[in-house]
């Protein structure tokens, strides 16, 4: 199945602090307000404490400013408060400053500075920083490339139960990168990762169950279960794979309505293969009322999202878009152009998400008719051009 990201990036804004229900003083009340989404009260209670030097409050205030919660978004102000907390040794703040430099949020991207801040937090045992520092060692960003050190830091985070690090470690054992190749350990860490909630681990395990099996023959029911867990977390590759199973009736009863919903979720995350499938669904009237303008705009979107290196799918999408265009009347063509200008018509928006660094790629082997250059090649079904509809 399709699961071959060269890089995986989680979000663009800072993580909200992990909070528990607390009552008592201003700090506890401020955190409780934060937890319950009352950000205006949270900033009112926490800002005086931050100004008085409380590192935990400084971190929370910085997070509120960076995410624009309870206050206008201000990356510079947020970074200022994070630095004050980090200078007092708060590992969460140090890790998130590393993320700011890593992504260039409010500052110029600086991998050396990012690695330095990640190291400060990692040395304190902060698992997310250990994970990100390992990625830097693997990629040679801000530090000299060192696969052994990458594996060591992933191991530290994995031992703490950090599920994404467990997934990364499974890849290291699978590929023999920084550690001796060991299939049994690779599978064991992959299972732990999936069971720990890593959507990457869940998708990879599902892919393995579907293609080869895990300690046995392929198990499509197990694959569907793991794809569903990752899809429920909003992970586009899992949504795409699960959509294809429902689309084809593989391991489940064919249900184009469910397939359409899953394709749409992945397509709205700019997955070009899902966008290609959305066009097919609109063109064919599967799971949705048939619409040539809808088919055209999704195929056009897919063309813009397939990488230039993927000539096969870009060519197929272009051919299919032109086919759709040849079947539209002038009114439908005008509708299609309007949809292109207002593309957000189909996609909900997420205000903020958790920030982490890039995940390692999962190397897979292309199979005939399936994975090719990291994307699925799909044939457009023939539909008589006399059939017409509007959105």
Rounded CA separation 152/3 (Å): 25
CA 250/CA 64 separation, integer angstroms: 45
Q: What pLDDT score does 390 carry? A: 29
Residue 359 has pLDDT above 70, yes or no: no
Q: What is the pLDDT of residue 346?
A: 60
Percent of the chain with pLDDT over 90: 75
Contact 155, 188 (CB under 8 A): no
pLDDT of residue 41: 95
Which region holds residue 166: left if phi is over 0, alpha if psi is between -120 and 50, else beta? alpha
Whether this model's pTM surpasses 0.85: no
Query: Pick from 259, 202, 198, 201: which is nearest to 227 by CA?
Result: 202
Quote the pLDDT of residue 26. Answer: 87
Q: Are 23 and 373 in contact (CB under 8 A)?
A: no
The string of pLDDT tens digits covering residues 56-82 is 999 999 999 999 999 999 999 999 999
Domains and CATH numbers, the chain: 197-269 (1.25.40.10), 280-352+363-391 (no CATH)
Is the confidence at residue 375, as pLDDT, over 60?
no
Segment 244-248 shows an average pLDDT of: 96
Report whether pLDDT(318) > 90.
yes
Lowest mean pLDDT among 52-66, 166-180, 318-332, 373-387: 373-387
Confidence label for 343 from pLDDT (cuts 50, 70 and 90):
low
Phi, psi for 371 (deg, rounded to 5): -70, 130
Query: Per-residue pLDDT tens for 108-154?
Result: 999 999 999 999 999 999 999 999 999 999 999 999 999 999 999 99
Distance in angstroms (rounded) separating the CA atoms of residues 100 and 116:
12
pLDDT at position 208, please? 94
* Residue 12, token pair as written in the block: 């663009």
- Band of residue 215 on the pLDDT scale cut at 50, 70, 90: confident
What pLDDT, on a 0 to 100 scale, did the predictor assign at position 203?
96
Confidence of residue 349 (pLDDT cuts 50, 70, 90): very low
Residue 342, pLDDT score:
76
Mean pLDDT calculated for residue range 243-257: 95
Per the model's pLDDT, the better-predicted residue between 212 and 17 turns out to be 212
**pLDDT at residue 308, rounded to an integer:** 92
Q: Read off the pLDDT band of 44 (50, 70, 90).
A: very high
């Amino acid at each position: 199945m399709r699961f071959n990201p060269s890089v995986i990036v989680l979000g663009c804004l800072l993580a909200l602090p992990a909070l528990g229900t607390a009552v008592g003083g201003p700090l506890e009340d401020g955190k409780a307000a934060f937890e319950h989404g009352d950000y205006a009260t949270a900033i009112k209670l926490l800002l005086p404490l931050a100004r008085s030097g409380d590192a935990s409050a400084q971190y929370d205030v910085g997070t509120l400013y960076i995410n624009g919660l309870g206050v206008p978004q201000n990356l510079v102000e947020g970074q200022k408060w994070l630095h004050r907390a980090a200078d007092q040794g708060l590992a969460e703040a140090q890790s998130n400053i590393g993320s700011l430099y890593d992504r260039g949020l409010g500052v110029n991207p600086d991998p050396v500075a990012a690695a330095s801040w990640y190291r400060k937090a990692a040395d304190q045992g902060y698992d997310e920083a250990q994970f990100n520092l390992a990625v830097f060692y693997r990629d040679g960003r801000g530090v000299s490339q060192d696969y052994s050190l990458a594996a060591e830091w992933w191991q530290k985070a994995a031992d703490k139960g950090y599920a994404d690090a467990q997934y990364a470690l499974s890849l290291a054992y699978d590929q023999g990168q920084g550690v001796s190749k060991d299939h049994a350990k690779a599978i064991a860490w992959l299972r732990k990762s999936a069971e720990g909630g890593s959507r990457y681990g869940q998708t990879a395990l599902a892919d393995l169950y579907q293609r080869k099996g895990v300690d046995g023959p392929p198990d499509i029911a197990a694959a569907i279960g793991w794809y569903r867990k990752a899809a429920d977390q909003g992970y586009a590759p899992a949504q795409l794979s699960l959509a294809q199973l429902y689309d084809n009736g593989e391991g489940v009863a064919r249900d184009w309505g469910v397939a359409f919903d899953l394709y749409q979720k992945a397509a709205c995350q700019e997955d070009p293969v899902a966008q290609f499938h959305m066009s097919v669904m609109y063109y064919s009237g599967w799971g949705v009322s048939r619409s040539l303008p809808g088919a055209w705009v999704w195929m056009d979107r897919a063309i813009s999202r397939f990488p230039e290196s993927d000539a096969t799918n870009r060519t197929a999408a272009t051919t299919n878009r032109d086919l759709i265009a040849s079947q539209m009347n002038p009114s439908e063509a005008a509708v299609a152009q309007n949809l292109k200008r207002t593309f957000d018509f189909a996609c909900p928006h997420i205000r903020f998400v958790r920030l982490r660094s890039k995940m390692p790629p999962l190397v897979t082997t292309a199979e005939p008719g399936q994975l090719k250059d990291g994307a699925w090649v799909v044939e457009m079904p023939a539909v008589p051009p006399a059939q017409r509809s509007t959105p």
